[in-house]
Structures are given as structure tokens and as C-alpha cells.
Amino acid sequence: MTTRVGVLGARGRMGGTSVRAIQAADGLEVVAQVDQGDALDLLTDAHAEVVLVFTTPDVALDQVLWCVERGIDVVVGTSGFDETRVAAVQEVVDRQDGVGVLVVPNFSIGAVLMMRFAAEAAPYFESVEVVEMHHPDKVDAPSGTAVRTAELIARARAEAGSAPLPDATTDDPDGARGASVSGIPVHALRARGYVASQEVVLGGLGETFVLRHDSHDRESFMPGVVTALASVGGLRGVHVGLDAVL
């Protein structure tokens, strides 16, 4: 059987690349391509069974809720879809029967493994910080991947009973120490030439350990996009992370 897919943000960089990947995949069919200025009714008119969301953070939540209220499964690829937005979706999903929503901070298999390895390593080191690097056209900072990485690191350290990170900084008027996400310092670089890269820097007495992942082309995300779309129909409720279907 073929799954009927609608794509929100279909004329964007990630949306357009995804449309081509979905069309080339077995078992998936693009039935609606929706972008700014288009009516969401195009999705229901085309009888989309699952919707891929690659729109901007300011509109993505309302679009996801619109789909859920109509019983359509959703894969969310919009960066910056934070815990508050996830909770809002969960509240609506709880009132629906049989809807699945998968929020994916990063569709790259390498990035998923990097996040997992960082969480496993974090309790063994005194210090840990995240540095993410993206192109300057990205609208949100820090990236969704960096936020998710920091949350997983913080959770792993809390479960292990790790001590707070050492940091004697008392004077930082310009924010040179970066943002704090769940107590983990996160730094965002924006420079032409990057697609999506991230480092997790861990430090202990006399040593440092660096995990790094680089996506050099948006094609690196496409196997994950296809996997998410093919699998979300088997989920119920809201799930975060591609590892939920790996």
C-alpha cells in the first residue's frame, strides 16, 4: 500500500529536497505540496494520510494542530519545535484517537547517533558544552538538534547524579559563554559554507573528548525523512527523536 503524503513548506530548501526524495521512495506518494499563501485545505482535499512539516517556527505549531484535529499523522521537521510546543500538541493529541506525531530535531542517522553517544559519555566527564554550526540563513538559534542534545545530556547527568558543571565565570555582559539549555552551555555559529554541524566537547582532568557530526548536503537527511514518514502511522501519541522509529 502507498502512504499519501502532504508536504508543508514544499518550496523551501528542506521541503523541496524532501519532495524529491519522497517521490523516489517506495510506498510513499506526494499528494499535496503546500507553502506560504496556500490553503491547508489542500491537504484534506488530497486525502493526505501523513503530513511533513518544514515551515518556520512561528506557524508550524498551528499547522500541526490543524492536522492533528483532522486525524492526520504528522512528522515535524521544523527546527526550534521546543518542549512548550510539544506539550501543546500532546494536549490535542490526547483528545484524538489513533493520531501519531513524530517531532524530529535532526533526520540524519549520524546526528541521532552523535546525540546518543553524547548522552552516554556525559556522566563520565566533569565538563560538557555543545557547539552548533549552521548557514546564516537559519532563523533560529540554538538549533533544535543542539537543544535536544543538551536536554539528553542534562537528563543523563541527572540520572547519574553528576555534579553541576564547573564554571567560575562571573563577568559575561555580552553572553560569550553562550546560552544555557537545561544547564548545558550551547554556542551557535552562523557562517556561509556550513549546512549543519555540531560538536559536543567533554572535559575531564587532563583530557578532552570531542564528538562531531557534519552534514555536508541536505541529502543526508533524506533517508531519515523517508523512514519517519513510512513509520509514523504505527505510532500513537507524540514522540520526539528519529530514534523512536529506528
From residue 159, give the alpha-carbon distance in Å to each of 55, 63, 155, 182, 243: 35, 35, 6, 14, 20
Q: Position of cell 563577568?
A: 171
Residue 213 appears among annotated catalytic residues: no
Separation CA 70–CA 72 (nearest Å) = 6
Q: Which helix (H) or strand (E) holds 209?
A: strand 207-215
Which of 134, 187, 213, 239 is catalytic? The answer is 134
The cell numbers describing 98, all together, are 489513533
Question: Does 216 qualify as catalytic in the annotation?
Answer: no
Strand partners, 238: 101
Which residue among the candidates 47, 135, 138, 216 is catalytic per the annotation? 138
Q: HSE, CB side, 13 Å, CA atoms: give it for residue 229.
A: 30
CB 107 within 8 A of CB 242: yes
Give the residue numbers marked as catalytic: 134, 138
